[in-house]
Amino acid sequence: MMKRNWTWVVGALSKRSPRSVDHSGASAKAERPRHPAYLLLNLILILVVGCQNVEEEHQENTEPSNISAQVSTEPAFAEQLQAIADGNSGSIVVTRELITSQQFQQLQPFAERIEKIEIIRAELDETDFDLLATFSNLYWLRLDIPIDDTALASIANCESLRILNLPQGQFTDQPLNAISKLKNLELFRFHSPNVTDAGMQEIANLPKLKYLHLLEVPITDAGLIPFHDRHDLQSFYLDGSNVTDDGLRALLKANPELHLHRDQLHLPEDPLGKEHDNMKPK
């Protein structure tokens, strides 16, 4: 049986084919693009901060002094746009500025160059979400803004997406059928109080899904059943759900290799939890 540890995850990701992308998107000086596997692993580590073997890295990256340093060195949107125009970057990472629809539309001439978008504050409309479909190389998208059914349906047209992070979602089950057809999506992290057990069946149909993180999504044990047969799913995090211990046990029994957390904790009988406990300093 394969051991579920991050050494294995690192090894699996390191075998992916290289791809040119700018990891930071927030450096005042242009850097060489980084391997997308590195970026994917970095996000995975952030998602699993409840685990002992990445807890120290998480704490280091979230110290107030470090956050302040990251924010203080983030280039303005206009500078990042110029770096893309100059061919020195493929990323837009904006955590401070409020991005307007007019600014977002300025990305259109560089649609084929953009590989990563991470925007924390924005005022976007339907035409902006429609624009995303023209970003043929966009593989990483994080939007910390309310995403409704119409917006998510537009996002579903981004066929190249591998990482989708929507921590302020407000969508229902309806557009998840379109999302389920994203043939490259590996990591899906979202919040929505309007997604039900029925929507989980659509998510389980994502052909390459490996990492799933639900934030305040009120599913029940029935919403876990579609994942009993998804043995390629590697990590499943539930924060603020209505699932029970019995539902989690049934999922682990059907899918024993799954890295499963509820509210950042393992079930007591989960062998993976014991592995983490053994890693703790004596």
Tell me, what's the pLDDT at 157? 97
The candidate with the shortest Cα–Cα distance to 36, out of 28, 48, 44, 26, is: 44
- Which one is predicted more confidently, 205 or 19? 205
Type of residue numbered 80:
Q
Residue 1 has pLDDT above 50, yes or no: no
Tell me, what's the pLDDT at 59? 35
Per-residue pLDDT band for 270 (boundaries 50, 70, 90) equals confident
For the segment 226-248, the average pLDDT, to the nearest whole number, is 97
Count the Cβ atoms, other than its own, within 10 Å of residue 219.
Answer: 19
Q: Does residue 9 form part of some domain?
A: no
Mean pLDDT in the chain? Answer: 81
Tell me, what's the pLDDT at 230? 96
Q: Does residue 12 form part of some domain?
A: no
Lowest mean pLDDT among 23-32, 204-213, 225-234: 23-32
Residue 137 has pLDDT above 70, yes or no: yes
How many CA atoms lie within 13 Å of 279's alpha carbon, on the beta-carbon side?
Answer: 15
Per-residue pLDDT band for 115 (boundaries 50, 70, 90) equals very high
Residue 94 has pLDDT above 90, yes or no: yes
Alpha-carbon distance of 52 to 58, in angstroms, equals 10
The candidate with the shortest Cα–Cα distance to 229, out of 260, 258, 255, 259, is: 255
Q: Is 115 exposed, middle or buried (0-12, 13-18, 19+ CB in 10 A)?
A: buried
Q: Does residue 74 form part of some domain?
A: yes
Residue 105 has pLDDT above 60, yes or no: yes
DSSP letters, 179-210, are HTT-TT--EEEEE-TT--HHHHHHHHT-TT--
Q: Does residue 16 form part of some domain?
A: no
Tell me, what's the pLDDT at 7? 33
- Which one is predicted more confidently, 16 or 143? 143
| Contact between 147 and 168 (Cβ < 8 Å) | yes
Q: Does residue 4 form part of some domain?
A: no
Tell me, what's the pLDDT at 4? 40
Residue 38 has pLDDT above 90, yes or no: no
Q: Which tokens is 267 given?
A: 């079930």
Per-residue pLDDT band for 43 (boundaries 50, 70, 90) equals low
Q: Does residue 150 form part of some domain?
A: yes
For the segment 32-51, the average pLDDT, to the nearest whole number, is 51
> Which residues pair with residue 255 across a beta bridge?
none
CATH of the domain at 52: 3.80.10.10
**Measured CA distances, 122 to 11, 79, 112, 119, 254 (Å):** 37, 17, 22, 7, 41
Number of domains in the chain: 1
Tell me, what's the pLDDT at 266? 85
Tell me, what's the pLDDT at 8? 34
Q: Does residue 168 form part of some domain?
A: yes
For the segment 222-233, the average pLDDT, to the nearest whole number, is 97
| Contact between 43 and 163 (Cβ < 8 Å) | yes
pLDDT digits (tens, 9 = 90+) for 138-179: 999 999 999 999 999 999 999 999 999 999 999 999 999 999
Percent of the chain with pLDDT over 90: 67
User: Residue 100's domain spans which residues?
Assistant: 25-279
For the segment 6-32, the average pLDDT, to the nearest whole number, is 37
Q: Does residue 1 form part of some domain?
A: no
